[in-house]
Amino acid sequence: MHAGLESLGIAVPPTYVELAELARARGVAPGKYVDGLGVTRMAVPLVDEDTVTLAARAARMALDAVGCAPEDVGMLVVGTETAVDHSKPVSSYVQGLLGLSTRCRVFETKHACYGGTAALQLATDWVRSGSAKGKKALIICSDIARYGVGTPGEPTQGAGAVALLVSDKPRLLTLEAGSGVYANDVMDFWRPLYSKDAVVDGHYSVQCYLDALEGAYKAWQETAGNAGGEGYSSDRFAALVYHVPYGKMSRKAHRHVRTLDGDKEPDASFERLVGPSLVLPSQVGNIYTGSMYLALASLLSSSREDLTGKRVGLFSYGSGSCAEFFTGVVSPEAQARVKALGLETLLERRRALSIPEYEQIMNAREKLDEKPAEETPGTGFRYLGTRDHKRIYAR
């Protein structure tokens, strides 16, 4: 049975910071942030936004895109590393906000930026096996990447969510069986329970990423070979989509893969194979679990090449670490369907924050979990605050 992505949706905050402006405010040459990271704008969530509201908005777009009714969803999983509760999953809040059936399997997955991929692979196998019995799985990657004002990681922040509707009608991408997995116990990135900000060993984390890429890619080559596939190298792909915490990481990843394949000019194919996937991420920044899937949405929305029937390679990495290299085939009209979502327009409508505004919002978010719930519910998916130690949201 075929299984894959029937639709997708994204959500980003309506506000952002120009990275060039942030650099100047920090006494740094703008090129160090913009060119050095491959990011122009950094999404900044307001105080009425969190992982739950972003997830719900992305899911609504994915469901509406194909007219999926709430009762058609049989599994809801949220992959996140910025959960709002140590026990109650983000997915339970989202189930309530979307009005999904009570006969829906609901839970949350965590493994740094790999959590969404873990959920996606589980959902794909659930559909392929026939256990879904015609139901669909809603997988959501939702996170707020935060490092704090004035810290070295400040320009690598971001926020957003990507929702993936998985079914036996893969109108966007048919996911192929036979992935390559690599895992290793490393301390390259973590967030202690007492901290809102992540701790990262930057240079070590880059090396861990590349080590995991090599391990997962070689594992995929062995799996594809055992399955009788042909051309077990990146030459068989029309595009490659990497986990992209920042754009320049994709260039390092691509150079590594092409070098493994014996390419004497590993950067020569970068713009053709990877470039279109970086258009949207460059305007949002790091969204952790959703980063690779935002890049996939960017590829389908921005590529000028007709990708119908062509194979795409996908690499997902989560610090700590676990990684997976897997593949998919682009469905007919997939690009038209994603373009119809108007993702570029969605980003263009956002408002730029001044640096003082941004810093004020960051300070306000320090006490976000203690914010008293507002009396007026407002409209849309919003975080209203807490009442009796309970988080209160508005549809």
Of 105, 107, 195, which Cα lies nearest the Cα of 153? 195
CA distance linking residue 369 with residue 359, whole number of Å: 18
CA distance linking residue 309 with residue 16, whole number of Å: 36
Q: Which residues are catalytic?
A: 81, 113, 243
DSSP code at position 111 = B
Distance of CA 180 to the CA centre of its chain: 19
Of 207, 253, 258, which Cα lies nearest the Cα of 235? 258
H-type alpha helices, the chain? 19-25, 30-37, 51-66, 90-98, 115-128, 202-226, 247-260, 270-273, 291-302, 334-339, 343-348, 355-365
CA distance linking residue 352 with residue 14, whole number of Å: 9
Residue 300, number of CB atoms within 10 A of its CB: 27
Residue 213's φ and ψ, nearest 5 degrees, are: -60, -45
Distance of CA 232 to the CA centre of its chain: 26
Please tell me whether residue 161 adopts helix, strand or coil conformation. Answer: strand
- Cβ neighbors of 8 (< 8 A, separation 6 or more) are 61, 62, 65, 162, 163, 164, 165, 172, 293, 296, 297, 338, 341
